[in-house]
């Protein structure tokens, strides 16, 4: 039997060798946290390398994602489908082992990490999802949802502001099954953190209501085992285990220095490390008994089999709940989904209300949520403004887990990364609201949802100068365009109640990535549509108002500016000008249509094109070209009642009509 230290040294060897081979990477953290990982994975982690998708597995997140070789080593050693060949391909194109752990590349990678603080926040979301899901599905004697979430993190994660947001919430929510391991090695990229990170971290986390295990020797397996047991024994608070470690543990000359943080150790130091660790095996060779010591396959199979039995009993006792649990975990839509949508669309179309689209969004939630118990809503302290709540909203608190609404507080970044964690966990479709402007506070978590391709739904209200008096700090100008530039992000900006329902439908049906929905603060009139037009909304852009024959001019618009376009078109038509109005609620979906459709909406030979949107104009050049015109806003907004701000920026039907007329005269 190899010793615990020898098992851990396998991680150290793989990490230093893979980084050396790749000529880049971060050996310091894997070598420093190897002993901690060994204890956690071999003594505690409930997982099945044969089935990385097992619903009730413990979640493991490496928030200090630059230490990716730690995770790859763990996956490889414990029996996941990550081969030695994969390890050798570390940081190479199309490998399973990219520089940072990327969700979807290697089995067992629960989330993409690297942008610091976000993995920790994802973990908070996962632990929260577990708690809520358990409250919704577990029954006495049937604990089918019952797992831990473990997260490793470093100084960097703790310096980032998002750690404050999500850890404060984890404390408030009392996430007892969240256990965080702080790699307290005193080193970050610029060197000894004493010059820039002097927080009393245990005290800080106690202030958040966490249980803190202070000052554990991260290289003493028995101490680590006890610390983890202590953490698990506290069930009403998340736990932070502060592990004193030596970065690059084992490297005789570089350990304890930032020189081993983000660069290969070098051949000489690697040789010296082998000597010091007593690890005599060549690079990328692991003795059989070490593999045996690590192998989690059998234990995993047994654990999952036990759960299968438990689930079978549950299914026998609660067949409907069991079926619903499976539906939820598979992220499938319910049977009556189509009917629900159709009914809601018909109702909104007949009602033809003039309402703010944020209100239309609330109506959409009200219509869809009753058949979608997986919808887990919330807002960053703007519930009454974002209108993210509905009549069935039930707020989740420390002692109330069975609910469907979260008060995230004024924490946009934390909210968004927690939403990503919830989506990654499974069983829920998270949606969360803030003002469109404050999408910027969350910007990189929003991007991460797109990078991972998870179904987070971002509800962004007060989407333009139309919010009025709050002024330029709150008035979105460039935010619609910049969200649209995030790859794989779908962005909707509907113009009325019917388009808002379609936007929500698209967001709910889109399983391969996130959706951002931009809603107005101010009221907008309903548009009249044929059934065909209603159907075409789903194509992202469609002809809302047409003319006979070839149009003299095409006006395209989104959201609250569609009404302006329609009014301008009326004026122009009165002058005998042939105007087509294209409503373009979702440019990415429109761009993904086949060429025939796009050509039918925007014929190549019509170059008199005018776009109107209360935001930066350059974005629209992709549709209007160099000859076209764009009416928008390229400066910051102004504080005043909305109609006056619109007038100030020339966003009026009169001005729009005039520009169109000038274009074709």
Q: How far is the CB of 461 from a copy of itself (least distance, A)?
A: 13
Which is closer to a copy of itself, CB of 153 or CB of 367? 153
Which is closer to a copy of itself, CB of 144 or CB of 158? 158
CA distance from start to end of the chain:
88
Q: Is 462 annotated as a binding residue?
A: yes
DSSP state for residue 42 in the 8-state scheme:
I
Q: Is 655 annotated as a binding residue?
A: no
Q: Quick one: CA torsion of 291, 296, 301, 303, rounded to 10 degrees? A: 160
Judge whether 376 and 456 are in contact, CB under 8 Å.
Answer: no
Q: Is 66 annotated as a binding residue?
A: yes
Which is closer to a copy of itself, CB of 311 or CB of 590? 590
Residue entry with tokens 């170059």: 607
Say how far apart CA 616 and CA 635 lie, in whole Å.
8
Q: Is 258 annotated as a binding residue?
A: no
SS (H, E, C) 349-389: HHHCCCEEHHHHHHHHHHHHHHHCCCEEEEECCCHHHHCCC
Q: Give phi and psi for 483, each to the nearest 5.
A: -65, -40
Q: How far is the CB of 488 from a copy of itself (least distance, A)?
A: 7
Which is closer to a copy of itself, CB of 139 or CB of 203? 203
Q: Is 447 annotated as a binding residue?
A: no
Q: How far is the CB of 609 from a copy of itself (least distance, A)?
A: 9
406: part of which helix (H) or strand (E)? strand 405-407
Catalytic site includes residue 412: yes
DSSP-based three-state secondary structure for 295: coil
Which is closer to a copy of itself, CB of 119 or CB of 221? 119
Q: How far is the CB of 71 from a copy of itself (least distance, A)?
A: 14
Q: Is 187 annotated as a binding residue?
A: yes
Judge whether 301 and 309 are in contact, CB under 8 Å.
Answer: no
Q: How far is the CB of 611 from a copy of itself (least distance, A)?
A: 12
Say how far apart CA 255 and CA 216 lie, in whole Å.
19
> 264-273 — which CB contacts under 8 Å span 24+ positions?
264/16, 264/19, 264/20, 264/22, 264/23, 264/24, 264/25, 264/27, 265/16, 265/19, 265/20, 265/27, 266/20, 267/20, 270/16, 270/17, 270/20, 273/12, 273/16
Which is closer to a copy of itself, CB of 278 or CB of 641? 641
Judge whether 361 and 500 are in contact, CB under 8 Å.
Answer: yes
Which is closer to a copy of itself, CB of 196 or CB of 654? 196
Q: How far is the CB of 217 from a copy of itself (least distance, A)?
A: 23
Q: Within 10 Å of residue 647's Cβ, how many Cβ atoms? A: 14
User: Which of the following is catalytic: 38, 110, 412, 613?
Assistant: 412
Q: Is 358 annotated as a binding residue?
A: yes
Residues in Cβ contact with 36 at an 8 Å cutoff, skipping those fewer than 6 apart: 152, 181, 183, 218, 224, 243, 245
Q: Is 100 annotated as a binding residue?
A: no
Q: How far is the CB of 169 from a copy of itself (least distance, A)?
A: 7
Say how far apart CA 599 and CA 656 lie, in whole Å.
24
Q: Is 155 annotated as a binding residue?
A: yes
Residue entry with tokens 């764009």: 630
Say how far apart CA 506 and CA 333 lie, in whole Å.
12
In the annotated binding site for Mg(2+), the residues are 155, 185, 187
In the annotated binding site for thiamine diphosphate, the residues are 66, 114-116, 156, 185, 261, 438
Q: Which residues are catalytic?
A: 412
């Amino acid at each position: 039997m190899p010793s615990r230290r020898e098992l851990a040294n396998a991680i150290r060897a793989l990490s230093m060798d893979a980084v050396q081979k790749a000529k880049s990477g971060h050996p310091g953290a894997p070598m420093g946290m190897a002993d901690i990982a060994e204890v956690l994975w071999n003594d505690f982690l409930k997982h099945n390398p044969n089935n990385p998708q097992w619903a009730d597995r413990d979640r493991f997140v490496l928030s200090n994602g630059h230490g990716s070789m730690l995770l790859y080593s763990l996956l490889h050693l414990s029996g996941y489908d990550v081969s030695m060949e994969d390890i050798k391909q570390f940081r190479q194109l199309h490998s399973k082992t990219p520089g940072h752990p990327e969700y979807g590349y290697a089995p067992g990678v629960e989330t993409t990490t690297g942008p610091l603080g976000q993995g920790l926040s994802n973990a908070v979301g996962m632990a929260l999802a577990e708690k809520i899901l358990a409250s919704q599905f577990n029954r006495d004697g049937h604990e089918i949802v019952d797992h831990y979430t473990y997260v490793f993190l470093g100084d960097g994660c703790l310096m980032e502001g998002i750690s404050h947001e999500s850890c404060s919430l984890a404390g408030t929510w009392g996430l007892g099954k969240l256990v965080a391991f702080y790699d307290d090695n005193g080193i970050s990229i610029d060197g000894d953190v004493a010059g820039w990170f002097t927080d009393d971290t245990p005290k800080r986390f106690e202030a958040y209501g966490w249980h803190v295990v202070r000052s554990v020797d991260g290289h003493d397996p028995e101490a680590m085992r006890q610390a983890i047991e202590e953490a698990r024994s506290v069930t009403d608070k998340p736990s932070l285990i502060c592990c004193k470690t030596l970065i690059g543990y084992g490297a005789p000359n570089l350990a304890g220095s930032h020189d081993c943080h983000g660069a290969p150790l070098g051949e000489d130091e690697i040789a010296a490390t082998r000597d010091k660790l007593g690890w005599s095996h060549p690079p990328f060779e692991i003795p059989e008994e070490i593999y045996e010591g690590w192998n989690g396959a059998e234990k995993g199979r047994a654990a999952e089999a036990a759960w299968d039995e438990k689930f079978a009993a549950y299914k026998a006792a609660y067949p409907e709940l069991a079926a619903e649990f499976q539906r939820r975990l598979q992220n499938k839509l319910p049977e009556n989904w189509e009917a629900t949508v159709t009914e809601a669309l018909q109702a909104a179309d007949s009602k033809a209300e003039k309402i703010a689209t944020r209100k239309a969004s609330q109506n959409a939630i009200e219509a869809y949520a009753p058949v979608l118990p997986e919808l887990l809503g919330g807002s960053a302290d703007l519930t009454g403004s974002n209108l993210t709540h509905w009549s069935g909203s039930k707020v989740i608190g420390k002692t109330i887990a069975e609910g469907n609404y979260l008060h995230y507080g004024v924490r946009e970044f934390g909210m968004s990364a927690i939403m990503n964690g919830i989506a990654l966990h499974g069983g829920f479709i998270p949606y969360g609201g803030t003002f469109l402007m404050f999408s910027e506070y969350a910007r990189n978590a929003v991007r991460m949802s797109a990078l991972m391709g998870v179904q987070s739904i971002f509800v962004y209200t007060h989407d333009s100068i139309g919010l009025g008096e709050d002024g330029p700090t709150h008035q979105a100008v460039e935010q619609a365009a910049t969200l649209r530039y995030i790859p794989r992000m779908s962005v909707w900006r509907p113009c009325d109640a019917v388009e808002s329902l379609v936007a929500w439908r698209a967001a709910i049906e889109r399983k391969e990535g996130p959706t951002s929905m931009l809603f107005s603060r101010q009221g907008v009139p309903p548009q009249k549509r044929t059934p065909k037009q209603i159907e075409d909304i789903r194509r992202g852009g469609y002809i809302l108002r047409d003319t006979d024959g070839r149009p003299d001019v095409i006006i395209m618009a989104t959201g609250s500016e569609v009404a302006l376009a329609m009014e301008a078109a009326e004026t122009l038509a009165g002058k005998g000008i042939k105007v087509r109005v294209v409503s373009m609620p979702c440019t990415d979906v429109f761009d993904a249509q086949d060429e025939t459709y796009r050509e039918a909406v925007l014929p190549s030979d019509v170059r008199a094109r005018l776009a109107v949107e209360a935001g930066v104009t350059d974005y629209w050049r992709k549709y209007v070209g160099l000859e076209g015109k764009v009416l928008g806003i390229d400066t910051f907004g102004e504080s005043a009642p909305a109609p006056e701000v619109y007038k100030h920026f020339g966003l009026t039907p009169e001005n729009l009509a005039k520009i169109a007329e000038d274009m074709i005269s």
